[in-house]
Amino acid sequence: MQTTTTTSPPPVPYLQNIPAELWIACWTLCSKSDLRSISMVCKVFRSICLPLLFQNQSLDVRPSERSTYGRWEERSRQLQHMADRLETLVAYAPLVRSWRISIGLTGRESDSHPNIEDWRFFNDSYERILITFGATLGLYRNLSSLHLEWFVVDEPFRDILASLLVLEDLTLSNCDIFHYDGFLKLKSFAEFGSSSEAKLLRIASADSLQTLKLDGGRIFLPIIRGFGTENLTQLVDLSLEELHNVTIFFGVLKRCPQLQSLRITALTRTSSISLDDTTPDSVDPSWIPPLRSIAVPSVALIRMLVPNRPISEVTVFGSQSESPVHLSAEELMPLLMDIASSSAPLESLVLPGADPTLGRLIFIAKRFPQLRQLSMVIQETGTRVVEGRPDPHDRSGPSKPFPVLRRNKLPDITSASNVHNILRWIFCGDILLPPRLEVLKLEADVIVRECFSSSQLQQVAKAVCRLCPGLRELYLHRSSLMRTGKAWKTVGSDSK
């Protein structure tokens, strides 16, 4: 009797049939724990997963809240584990592309706990971490991004930075800079809260820098002086936490011929007064680069920089103080007229507290038909807006109603807040929203009682979406909705 043997089909050669690029595209969506599991399947998978596992590294040496108030054994093990990890990571240093490390107030935990006598172990652990990181950083030859917090930048450390030939992105936060000579070929440099006694700092090269973010404090002038008289020919993005000197600021703009994005978070009192005393006509147009995006807390500054420039995004920050600032009619309309004189269609407009008359809202909708984002803090204090049609002299033309909304059941809006009134104008056809609108934010400047219920929010979102099919985010009072497919989901609310 002859026995037949069944043979299993040969395995599919998936490693040869599927290119590595496809595996990488799939696994970039995986978590680190999943990547670790995949890396143990075979040598090919391991060679693909290891770069994904090690490309981004971070280390935060600062003590957690619970270790600050006890559990010192756990803190001891934590510090030891960090030091061990730094030493082990050296074997994979060529795979690392970015490092983010915060040393914190090294060795100062004992200051808040004088009852603990022996701190030698913690101090030794801190010392081991600092020495290991400084000694091994030069081995990360493929490092392109480095973020340092609470660190000391001395001459040996600057030499290490200079040896990282592919380093493009450097951020210094609360660092002490003791050595300040020698340019690094960076594309992005950011500095926040750092300190230095130098009158000038040479850190980023003027001919390679594309993004510059500074806190505008004591270190702003030394860094600007460090560039000497060179123009920042590659700079396209400039961000300042605070503007101190208007004259120096315009001097910097003159040296940035390719600048496209400008962001200033706050003004000092001196710079604010100086801007108020400066008229738009006093600014030479040749000083102003071809800006595309501007976000500043000053109407006067926007009016100087926007006309005849390809501005597509304008953000007016509110006051950084506790008292909110409102744009009066005397400020708002000239500002809108200057923005309308931009040489490019406006796509994003963000305004602080404003008096929301119907005429001004119609002006915004008609003059900026390409808007994708409209965000306004609506003034709820003082006089309520008057419902009804506006003064003929306060609008740019007749409005057309929306018959679709008139035939359908409108959301039940009976409250008297200004945000509610604006929605009534929209649903009655008095305001024609830009059809390409994707984000609409109408925030009250104070806490109002007439908040929207969940059902009202859904009704309003669906009604506005009929007018603007691309709408994906709606913010009313202090409730936010995000669109996922055809459904609207409440992200959260603030009831403070």
**pLDDT recorded at residue 478:** 79
Looking at residue 117, its pLDDT comes to: 54
Q: What is the CA radius of gyration of the chain?
A: 29
Provide the pLDDT for residue 407.
38
CA 355 to chain centroid, in Å, comes to 28
pTM for this predicted structure = 0.81
- Structure-token pair, residue 165: 């030939």
Cβ count near 29 (within 10 Å): 7
d(CA 8, CA 28): 34
Beta strands in 105-151 (DSSP E): 145-149
* 395 neighbors 365 (Cβ within 8 angstroms): no
Phi and psi, residue 293, nearest 5°: -140, 130
Per-residue pLDDT of the chain (496 residues; tens, 9 = 90+): 555 566 767 665 666 666 777 777 777 777 778 778 877 778 777 877 888 888 999 998 876 655 555 556 677 788 888 899 999 999 999 999 999 999 876 555 555 555 555 566 677 788 888 889 989 999 999 999 999 998 888 889 999 999 999 999 999 998 888 887 888 999 999 998 888 888 888 999 999 999 999 986 678 888 888 998 899 999 999 999 888 888 888 889 999 999 999 999 888 888 877 777 776 666 778 888 999 999 998 888 898 899 889 999 999 987 544 344 577 777 888 889 999 999 999 999 999 877 778 888 999 999 999 999 999 988 776 544 444 444 444 443 433 333 334 434 455 555 567 888 888 888 888 899 999 999 999 988 776 666 777 888 888 888 899 899 999 999 988 788 999 888 888 886 443 3
The rounded Cα 327 to chain-centroid distance in angstroms is 25
DSSP-derived 3-state class of residue 491: strand
pLDDT digits (tens, 9 = 90+) for 381-439: 654 444 444 444 444 343 333 333 443 445 555 556 788 888 888 888 889 999 999 99
Name, in order, each residue with C-beta under 8 angstroms of 443's C-beta and a sequence gap of 6 or more.
375, 376, 377, 378, 419, 475, 477, 478
What single DSSP character describes residue 62?
Answer: S
Residue among 478, 477, 470 nearest 486 (CA): 470
In the block, residue with structure tokens 């007749």 = 398
What are the residues facing 478 on neighbouring strands? none
SS3 470: coil
**Given CA atoms 155, 160, 163, 167 in this order, what sign does their dihedral have?**
negative
Helix %, strand %, coil % for the chain, to 5?
35, 20, 45
Contact (CB, 8 A) for 411 and 460: yes
Sorted by where each starts, the structural domains of the chain and their CATH numbers stand as 16-54 (1.20.1280), 355-496 (no CATH)
pLDDT at 77: 80
Pairing verdict, β 237-243 and 261-267: parallel
CB proximity list for 402: less than 8 A, separation 6 or greater: 427, 429, 432, 467
∠ CA(127), CA(109), CA(74), 5° rounding? 80
Pairwise CA distance, residues 388 & 425, whole Å: 8
Q: Which of 236, 235, 238, 203 is nearest to 219 (CA)?
A: 203
**Torsion angles phi and psi, residue 480, rounded to 5:** -125, 135
251 Cβ contact list (under 8 Å, min separation 6): none
The one-letter amino acid at 412: D
For 246-288, where are the E strands, in sequence order?
261-267
